[in-house]
Amino acid sequence: MKILSVNAGSSSMKFQLFDMPSEKVLVSSTFERIGLNNSFYTIKVNGQKIKKEASLENHTEAVCLFLNELQANKFVSNLDEIEAVGHRVVHGGDKYSESAIIDEKVIEDIKSFIPLAPLHNPAGILGINSIREALPDAVNVAIFDTAFHQTMEDEAFIYPIPYEWYTENAVRRYGFHGTSYQYVATRIADILGTDKYKAIICHLGNGASITAIKDGKCVDTSMGITPIAGIPMGTRCGDIDPSIIEYMMKTTGKSIDDIMFELNKKSGLLGVSGISSDSRDIEEAIEKGNERAILAQKIYVRSILSFIASYYCILGGADVIAFTAGIGENSALTRKDIMNALEPLGVKIDEEANKGRGEECLISSAASKIKCYVIPTDEELMMGRETYELSK
């Protein structure tokens, strides 16, 4: 059975075609700068990544080009072989605690959550509509980033604000990166040989969050009603005093939109370092003694530590700390800084093992009271699994 995973952004689309249930990746492709100048796409054919320039006016054109590539390279003999398609949808509110087969009601629900995710949900709808038009006979499944976190108790997701903000305006903690956490949680269970465990997973990428998990279910997570909350990220500020917003509006004359843009796009590692949102650039500057890069790294690590320590207490201990996503999987420096600071919890690093990049590995020593792992995430595979199970 051929299953397609689709991740649509406002100006990008990512595709991955699986043969299920073997989980073999047949082809993957990324389309960039949709609706903008200099648009292009890459596709992996026979293990080789090929880049092609293309005029991409909209998401439908990207879908058509990808499907043409599938047939031209004989990944499918005809498009009817694609029986189901899984779509990443960033926000499912508190209505969806699991993936759902897409019908008109689900589409309307996704639209209703646009005020909670104004940049992401419209892109998801574009992707869904484009695929439904191109593959009218395929089953479409929505995989919600927020679904995994719906197991949180009230005290974890309700903010200490007027309660009516929650009941009347849906203001609460939702959490994101759910598909990634679901995959890593499954891998932890496989590694330990049991689904009874306490874990703290650090999804550290350009967007980053921390989640506490007990027996495979979310107990608490760092992101909030939107993905700006929690730890500082590549360009997002993370948790700050909300009065800063009012103060900056009054002292600079900037609008709320201006301030929110800067908190989302000009803060985090970029804002503090003044160099880059990319941790590789930050680390290179640290090696050269750049003081603001050093400060950005210290703030980043300190915030991560505060969440890990909090979740350790909430969980009543931890069996595993896992690092995933771009920084978590590849930055030995960041993992080392975090693990060395966690020594009061009994964490002991294996310096040699920690030098690895992008591979699943135990990076704590035998003396460590908490096992620490690098576990590369695979959101597309998790989407493929969810889609396969629902479409069967």
CB 367 within 8 A of CB 168: no
> Coil, strand or helix: which one is 290?
coil
> Coil, strand or helix: which one is 40?
strand
Cα–Cα distance for residue pair 299/337, rounded to 1 Å: 11
Cα–Cα distance for residue pair 146/175, rounded to 1 Å: 6
Residue 205 per-residue DSSP state: S
CB 85 within 8 A of CB 133: no
Radius of gyration over every alpha carbon of the chain, rounded to an integer in angstroms: 21
> Coil, strand or helix: which one is 74?
coil
CB 273 within 8 A of CB 285: yes
Q: State whether the Cα torsion 329-331-332-337 is positive or negative.
A: negative
84: tokens are: 């189901």
The residue from 94, 103, 145, 278 that is catalytic is 145
340: tokens are: 């060395």
Question: In sequence order, which residues have a C-beta less than 8 Å from that of residue 390 and are 6 or more positions away?
Answer: 84, 99, 100, 101, 139, 141
Is residue 145 among the annotated active site residues?
Answer: yes
Residue 105 per-residue DSSP state: H
Closest CA relative to residue 181, chosen from 311, 375, 385, 389: 375
Cα–Cα distance for residue pair 80/350, rounded to 1 Å: 50
Cα–Cα distance for residue pair 288/173, rounded to 1 Å: 39
CB 101 within 8 A of CB 87: no
CB 131 within 8 A of CB 140: yes
Q: Which residues pair with 82 in a beta bridge?
A: 2
CB 92 within 8 A of CB 105: no
Name residue 141's amino acid. Answer: V
> Exposed (0-12), middle (13-18) or buried (19+): which is 387, by Cβ within 10 Å?
buried
Catalytic residues: 145
